[in-house]
Amino acid sequence: MQSYILRRLFFLPIVFFALSLMIFSLQMLLTPIQRLSAYVSTISEMKGGQEQIAHLIKKYGLDEPFITQYWLWVKGVLQGNLGWSETARGPVSEVLLSLFPATAELVVLAFIPSFLCAIWLGTRAGANHNKLVDHIIRFFTILGWSFPTFVFGLIMLMIFYGFLDWLPPGRLSQWAMTDVGSSDFIRYTGANLIDSLINWRWDIFFDSLRHMIAPVITLTYVNLANMTRLMRTSMLETLRQDYIRTARAKGLSRRVIENKHARRNAMLPVTTMAGMELASMMGGVVITETIFDYHGLGQFAATAAGSLDFPAVLGFALYFAVVLVLINLIVDLLYPFFDPRVVLK
Amino acid sequence: MKRFFSLVSAITFMVLAGAATAKIKNPETLVFLWNSNITSLDPAYIGDTASTYSSLNVYSRLLDNDGSNISKFVPSLSAEVPSLANGLIKILDGGAIQYTFPIRDGVFAHRVGIKGDDGSITWHLYDDLSETDRAKIEPGYGQITAEDARYSLMRAILQGESWMANAVTEMITSGIYTNIEKWAIGLSGAEKFENVDAAGLAATHAALAEKIRTEGENLIITLDSSFPATLGIMSLPFATSIIDREWAIEKGAWPDTAETWLDHHKPKLENNPLFEVENGSGPFMVEAWDQAEQRITLKRFDGYFRDPASLKRVVLRTVPEWTNRRLQLLAGDADFAATPPEFIEEMRASEGVKVESLGQVYGRSLFFGWPVKAEGNPAIGSGQLDGKGVPSDFFANLDVRKAFNYAQNYDILLEQIQQGRTVQLRGPTVQGLMGYRSDSPIYSYDPAKAEEHFRAAFDGQLWEVGFEMTSYYSEGSTEAASSLAVLQQSLARINPKFRLRVQALTRSAFREKTYGSSNPESPLSYMGWGPDYSDPGGPLGAASYYLASTGLVAGFSGDGYRELMREKFDPLLAKAWALNDPAVREPIYARLQEMSHEFATTQFMWEAVTANVTRDWVHGYVHNKVLYGAWNFYNISKHE
């Protein structure tokens, strides 16, 4: 087990290196003048003319050779410095750290119901193969699968905010933002739900929750389909196994067979997939966060990419790689708990 | 698919109709949703409009514009506006001009210093202090004085980071040097700034100190010769904003010594000690700036030297997604939403929303460049006059430029693209600027005249063989795409052999092909560049920007363009700039405007307009063209 973990951790830097080299190479295909976009936000900043452009290129070392620029960047990363994000006007590492709790909070809240619903719906559908319940669940999940996030998100936003004014976008209402920003409110984690509880501010807790409902529903629904379908298929296969037939022959109730004997085994492939879903949600909430004005890593990554903010894009890519590898590792390590036949070597 | 979109549209309209019933939310807070971001809180560092939202509201300057009048000024930190009549402008022997700014008494910054028993200074918010504590404020520590004004101007010039700080250098040197580096080179005789020795640096500092000095509570600025835009520059919310000297030095900014200015010259954004802190004396102070969330909160400064602002807070939030901004505005959670031009009319029809159309100080034009890069340039095709391309100096031909200008259908541009909101641009100067005359000549759509000029160009060869050429615009602008498409179709109608291709480029690629180089790749590009003060002359005025060989437009329009400007326009520009009397200068700028038509220097299309889209409970916005729509929140109030 230990050697397995060490081996997996050993490959981590190699993955990061390959990834960073790839992204860095892509950005270097652009000319220094094009890459200046990362440092100037509006055309008016270029009014100094050619002199200003030359000054900025020199100032940010954009005319240095590839190796020099890459080495400078890697050296910084090894010292914990991911560079300066012109989009966020701050060090990339600090920005990622400050936004991580927001995204993590959203993703965890969306992932848990997503996973539980998928297990339940998949079990129901598999256990009621080709019956009305199965058809309804399949229709429901296919609908979610075929809905692009931005369409579903916009519909949610328009109905529940634009029309009903129940679920506003953003992370907090204006009054709550003012309170959170005051010296009376102490920030512990950066996650509004947790911090408001620690500060014993139930009003801020519920305000934060209210702002999260729409993006959570959106994320849950669009991520539900894959896991539900896999659970259903897996359940169908499991229910055809000999041991299930034996259990039936022994006279066990249908409920016990499905929930106790079949579901646990059927969950194995879903668990692996859930890990990947969680990882992709951690890095892929770009559209949801953008639509709901939810300032998290996804929205930051989208803005940074649109502004050709390379340090931020590289930093985000590294973050995503870390999340992907770590979640993968955790899922692999958890696998023996779900399936005792698996032994890690 | 169509049915699906119809359903979505129907839901959208239902929703929007329902949403427009909001009441005033956050009555004392203005929530401002935009898709910009400020660069720095240091006014000496910034040169972009977005950043002026902080500097304009957080800092004070010596003078302010008189409301929306961009040529009139009112006192701010200076108790009076200098003029010849009040004796605060003096013409000295040798033609030097001396400006005196008497600094207003009793003005305090947001943070003030109080000396403790151990002699150390601690900084406190002025608003939090009792009257007893205020009596203990250490003189000069947060109290705005003439020394603060001197320090602020000198620091901005010596820091030399932004082009607006460099504009102050141009003003101080009466246009001789465009930045402090050139000034140092000029004084030291070094070839490059890097080679300027300690003596040269000290001499530069001394020369600057001689031109900006204090006498008691007066700030004295002495220019070697006339610089008519001086008061205009002094009222801009950039490098001329006044910071508290003692506070800035304590924060690690330039310590006000000759030996140290190079250490604080052109700092990186993140290394600038005043990047994310402020101590202005403006009507608002920065309560929080969350860079990661791109949200800045301004809080009312009750100790402001005028009456306190009506709003208690202003929140500027970056919301990239338009639908979200729109819904927040309609729901009343936002008071202002930056609105793409194509949605202005839709918003105008929404209940509870107010749309104000605002004229801008610049226009939108198609810029001719010549010669453009000849080798490997897809924009000019074969690079020959063979029907499959154009020569690199295609637009050097006056007949070609005139033909292009006659080929544009301005009526369609104004009526259909601009929907009657604006007027045709008559040249570099727009309405309200010196030299603008409503009866000056303009081009109109005239296919016959266009044909006449096309036939005359290149001895008729152009008409015979035709051309292929690519014009560029920066992606996302529907106005650009439409105006180029109108020209494209019109050219094809005049002669089917005239093939103009229109291509959108990313912002960065567009920059590289157009204004990123002194000899561009693009022969014809859609852009709009505006001046930085109301005077049309000087280095940053409208006429100079477009018509001087050293101007901004000439800088990226190619050697041919620059040569034309040098030969025909520079002498008149220099003549006008050397004069002080507006009555004598005005006809010269009017003539320059006419000449821009005569030489068809650019295809001037329309005066730019923008719009403020706010809730109807927002009142008090004063539009100042020179501020490019930046909001001064001091005048704003929220009420039904």
pLDDT 10s digits, B471-522: 999 887 889 999 999 999 999 999 999 999 999 887 778 888 898 888 899 9
Distance CA A5, CA A42 (A): 48
Omega prior to B371 cis, within 30 of 0: yes
Q: Tell me which of B190, B220, B244 is where a domain ends.
A: B244
Q: Tell me which of B244, B264, B296 is where a domain ends.
A: B244
Dihedral pair phi/psi, residue A278, rounded to 5°: -65, -45
How confident is residue B600, by pLDDT bands cut at 50, 70 and 90? very high
**Residue B2 pLDDT exceeds 50:** no
Distance CA A157, CA A166 (A): 10
Average pLDDT score over residue span A27-49? 68
Asked if A88 and B291 come within 8 Å (Cβ–Cβ), the reply is yes
B162, B46 Cβ separation under 8 angstroms: yes
Q: Does the residue B302 lie in any domain?
A: no
* Residues from chain B contacting residue A162 (CB–CB below 8 Å): 15-16, 18-19, 327, 330-331
Smallest Cβ–Cβ distance between B163 and the set A52, A151, A157 belongs to A52
Asked if A94 and B292 come within 8 Å (Cβ–Cβ), the reply is yes
The CATH number covering residue B220 comes to 3.90.76.10
Mean pLDDT of chain B: 92
Distance CA B588, CA B541 (A): 14
Q: Tell me which of B196, B225, B244 is where a domain ends.
A: B244
- Rounded to 10 degrees, the C-alpha dihedral B589/B592/B596/B597 comes to 90
Structural domain containing residue B465: 361-609
pLDDT at B368: 97
B70, B77 Cβ separation under 8 angstroms: no
Smallest Cβ–Cβ distance between A161 and the set B179, B331, B552 belongs to B331
ipTM, 2 decimals?
A: 0.82
pLDDT at B82: 96
pLDDT at B422: 93
Smallest Cβ–Cβ distance between B297 and the set A59, A88, A181 belongs to A181
Share above pLDDT 90 across residues of chain B, in percent, rounded to a whole number: 75
Q: Mutating which of A34, A47, A292 best tests the B interface, going by the most B Cβ atoms within 10 A?
A: A47
Asked if B266 and A59 come within 8 Å (Cβ–Cβ), the reply is yes
CB proximity A46 to B under 8 Å: yes
Buried b (16+ CB within 10 A) or exposed e, A237-258: ebbeeeebeebeeeeeeeeebb
CB contacts under 8 A, A 15-34 vs B, are 30-31, 33-34
Distance CA A339, CA A239 (A): 17
**Residue B3 pLDDT exceeds 50:** no
* Residues from chain B contacting residue A165 (CB–CB below 8 Å): 19, 22, 331
Q: Does the residue B447 lie in any domain?
A: yes
Q: Mutating which of A44, A55, A156, A292 best tests the B interface, going by the most B Cβ atoms within 10 A?
A: A44
Instruction: Report how far apart the first and last C-alpha atoms of chain A are (Å, whole number).
Output: 6
Smallest Cβ–Cβ distance between B320 and the set A30, A178, A290 belongs to A290
CB proximity B580 to A under 8 Å: no
Whose structure tokens read 């860079």? B291
CB contacts under 8 A, B 106-165 vs A, are 162-163
**Residue B80 pLDDT exceeds 70:** yes
How confident is residue A48, by pLDDT bands cut at 50, 70 and 90? low
Q: Among candidates B48, B54, B45, which has minimal Cα distance to B269?
A: B45
pLDDT at B14: 46
pLDDT at A343: 66
DSSP B492: H
pLDDT at B635: 94
CB proximity B31 to A under 8 Å: yes
Digit-coded pLDDT (tens) for A68-83: 888 887 887 888 888 8
**Residue B6 pLDDT exceeds 60:** no
Tell me the pairing of strands B212-215 and B121-125.
unpaired
Asked if A99 and B518 come within 8 Å (Cβ–Cβ), the reply is no
Give the pTM: 0.85
Closest CA of chain B from A112, distance in Å: 26
Q: Does the residue B256 lie in any domain?
A: no
Distance CA B179, CA B188 (A): 14
pLDDT at A45: 59
Distance CA B398, CA A304 (A): 44
Query: Does B370 lie in the same domain as B240?
Result: no
pLDDT at A42: 58
Q: Where is average pLDDT lowest: A192-196, B226-230, B243-247, B587-591?
A: B226-230
Listing DSSP states for B477-491 in one string gives -HHHHHHHHHHHHHH
Q: Does the residue B40 lie in any domain?
A: no
Share above pLDDT 70 across residues of chain B, in percent, rounded to a whole number: 97
Closest CA of chain B from A214, distance in Å: 13
Asked if A291 and B323 come within 8 Å (Cβ–Cβ), the reply is yes
* Residues from chain A contacting residue B318 (CB–CB below 8 Å): 303
Q: How many residues does chain A have?
A: 345
Q: Does the residue B506 lie in any domain?
A: yes
Digit-coded pLDDT (tens) for B106-148: 999 999 999 988 889 999 999 999 999 999 999 999 999 999 9
* Residues from chain B contacting residue A101 (CB–CB below 8 Å): none
B624, B65 Cβ separation under 8 angstroms: yes
Digit-coded pLDDT (tens) for B560-572: 999 999 999 999 9
Q: Mutating which of B11, B15, B316 best tests the A interface, going by the most A Cβ atoms within 10 A?
A: B15
Distance CA B486, CA B417 (A): 10
The CATH number covering residue B421 comes to 3.10.105.10
Q: Mutating which of A42, A86, A152, A164 best tests the B interface, going by the most B Cβ atoms within 10 A?
A: A42
Q: Which residues share a beta bridge with B359?
A: B609
**Residue B1 pLDDT exceeds 70:** no
B255-to-A21, B44, B261, B264, B418 alpha-carbon distances in Å? 43, 15, 8, 9, 52
Digit-coded pLDDT (tens) for B405-451: 999 999 999 999 888 889 999 999 999 899 999 999 999 999 999 99
User: Domains in chain A, start-ordered, CATH in brackets?
Assistant: 2-90 (no CATH), 99-338 (1.10.3720.10)
A289, A137 Cβ separation under 8 angstroms: no
Whose structure tokens read 């100094």? A48
Query: Does B370 lie in the same domain as B237?
Result: no
Q: Does the residue B337 lie in any domain?
A: no
Sign of CA dihedral A62, A67, A68, A70: positive
Digit-coded pLDDT (tens) for B471-484: 999 887 889 999 99
CB proximity A37 to B under 8 Å: yes
Q: Does the residue B405 lie in any domain?
A: yes
pLDDT at B22: 56
Digit-coded pLDDT (tens) for B273-332: 999 999 999 999 999 999 888 899 999 999 999 999 999 999 999 998 899 999 999 999
Residue A340 has, within 13 A of its CA and on its CB side, a CA count of 1
Task: Choose between A275 and B470: higher pLDDT.
Answer: B470
* Residues from chain A contacting residue B323 (CB–CB below 8 Å): 154, 157, 291
Chain A, nearest residue to B474 by Cα: A43
Chain A, nearest residue to B552 by Cα: A49
pLDDT at B213: 97
Quick check: helix, strand or coil at residue A284?
coil
Neighbours of A337 (CB within 10 A): 9
Smallest Cβ–Cβ distance between A48 and the set B163, B294, B328 belongs to B163
Distance CA B317, CA B336 (A): 10
Q: Does the residue B149 lie in any domain?
A: yes
Domain count of chain B?
2
CB proximity A149 to B under 8 Å: no
pLDDT at A32: 81
pLDDT at A91: 86
Q: Where is average pLDDT lowest: A87-96, A212-221, B3-12, B176-185?
A: B3-12
CB proximity A35 to B under 8 Å: yes
Digit-coded pLDDT (tens) for A312-323: 888 888 888 888
The two structure tokens encoding residue A306? 């649109």
